[in-house]
Chain A
Amino acid sequence: MSDTQDPYENLKITTGVVAEPNTSRANKTGSWREFKPVIDTDACIGCGQCDTYCPDQAAKPVEGEDFYGFDLDYCKGCGICAEVCPTDAIEMVREVK
């Protein structure tokens, strides 16, 4: 999401602080992850359950494909997607850093 403005640029604190909308994208929560989801692209039926139940907007359709992928900038590795996937196409593997 490169079009998001950087909220930390020219940072000033005014009375009655106002933050620009949609700016939490500056905070890459992917660094929290201990396990990461990987998708079996053949088993994925593109139903979007992972997207529906992802609290972090990190499971999205892959452009031009009929399967879903994960935004590793934000995925916290909770494992909900693997749990709700009806075809068990998602596996949580230990994150190697």
Chain B
Amino acid sequence: MSSDLQDQDYTDELEHGEELWNAGHRACAGCGPALAMKYITEAAGENTIVTNATGCMEVVSTPYPESSWGTSYIHNIFENAASVAAGVEAAYKSFDRRDPEHLDVQDSDDLNIIAIGGDGATADIGFRALSGMLERGHDVLYIMYDNEAYMNTGVQRSSQTPFGASTTTSPAGKESIGNDTNKKDMASIVADHGAPYVATASISSPHDFKQKVEKALEIDGPKFIHVYAPCPVGWGFDSAKTIDLAEKAVKTGLFPVFEMEDGEITSVNKIRDREPIEEWLEHQGRFKHLFKDEEQGEVGIEELQEWIDNRAEDLGLDA
């Protein structure tokens, strides 16, 4: 290695833009959800109030007295990001009606209210609050970043953990394949509440994700985006591969990317020559048992592939 490579340093010569998701956050190297936060702030802009459930993104971004956020931000306990967002929205509507001059934001329509939670905070612990927010029809965008387990507390399984994954509460062993359930279909559940806009996106396609955030914020009523965000530490892969694994999850059909408007699927990101799920599994430590024990592995992989195939057929995923 030549010494001039070691000495290269452009730190003081860089052009930084107006960043609303700031460096210095304590997310692990190669964090997928941290990228999702960056894209959310880029799409939503400064005129945004974020309510954030307890979880990785809250812990890494707001250790007092620091904040990584350039938007207004409220941390709330694990289960109620949706309830707090609903309260903020109701308060804004009320202030706007009673004394429009009083607000910095003159019209509550100009304001973006975004609730953010991880898969555990959204699909499990905060599910009741989310359901209430959807059913009451608050004008809030809820974004669930999905890293497929409770990563902040030490990789416990959630209802978004895929079949066969070894976690600390679904360890693989002689008698266990690892997690024995498939991912809960949050998009359909939210759409069934009557939400006007539901979408899934992956951090491997930031342009698509940001467009969906922008589109959702234009729509009145409760909106939901399920964004896929790999976790190098919890899944056991090289931190450089975060984008690659997010892309592979889409290409194998494990995480289909689509939009639903007023309960109907309106667009599906079609996949040509869908890859077998092994292509995605083999790079991750949490699935290594599936490749060690041939018999157990084959059964597990087959079951996961079958679930993916059935979903692909339902959605018309294959091009």
Residues of A at under 8 Å CB distance from B?
1, 7-8, 11, 13, 17, 19-29, 32-33, 38-39, 52-53, 55-58, 60-63, 65, 69-74, 76-80, 82-84, 91-94, 96
Contact = CB atoms under 8 A, between A and B. Distances in A.
B contact residues, range: 35 or more
Interface string B205-245: 01000000000000000000000000010000011111110
Contacts, number: 147
24 contacts: A1-B16, A7-B66, A8-B65, A17-B64, A19-B65, A19-B66, A21-B70, A26-B24, A55-B30, A55-B34, A55-B35, A56-B25, A56-B27, A58-B23, A61-B15, A63-B13, A63-B15, A71-B14, A74-B23, A78-B239, A79-B238, A79-B239, A93-B5, A94-B1
Contacts of A29: 23-26
B239 A70 contact: no
Given A23-B66, A78-B30, A53 B24 contact: no
Nearest to A83: B240
Interface in B258-308: none
A23 B151 CA distance: 25
A76 to B, nearest CB: 4
Interface of B: 1, 5-6, 8-11, 13-16, 19, 21-32, 34-35, 38, 61-62, 64-71, 73, 206, 232, 238-244
B68 A39 contact: no
Given A17-B64, A78-B239, A80-B30, A24 B11 contact: no
B67 A77 contact: no
Contacts of B29: 32-33, 76-79
Contacts of A23: 22, 65-67
B207 to A, nearest CB: 9
Given A19-B62, A82-B240, A83-B244, A52 B21 contact: no
A88 B28 CA distance: 24
B269 to A, nearest CB: 19
A91 to B, nearest CB: 7
A65 to B, nearest CB: 8
Given A1-B16, A55-B38, A80 B1 contact: no
Nearest to A64: B13
A25 B232 CA distance: 23
Given A62-B15, A69-B14, A24 B64 contact: no
Contact of B10 (A11, A70, A94, A96): A70
Contacts of A25: 22-24
Nearest to B6: A96
Nearest to A61: B15
Given A69-B13, A73-B11, A27 B24 contact: yes
B64 A19 contact: yes
A83 B65 CA distance: 34
B267 to A, nearest CB: 23
Given A55-B35, A69-B10, 7 more contacts: A28-B24, A53-B35, A55-B34, A58-B23, A60-B14, A63-B15, A83-B240
B8 A39 contact: yes
B19 A57 contact: yes
A81 to B, nearest CB: 9
Contacts of B16: 1, 57, 60
Contact of A56 (B1, B34, B69): B34
Given A19-B62, A19-B66, A70-B10, A24 B15 contact: no
B5 A91 contact: yes
Contacts of B62: 19
Nearest to B25: A24
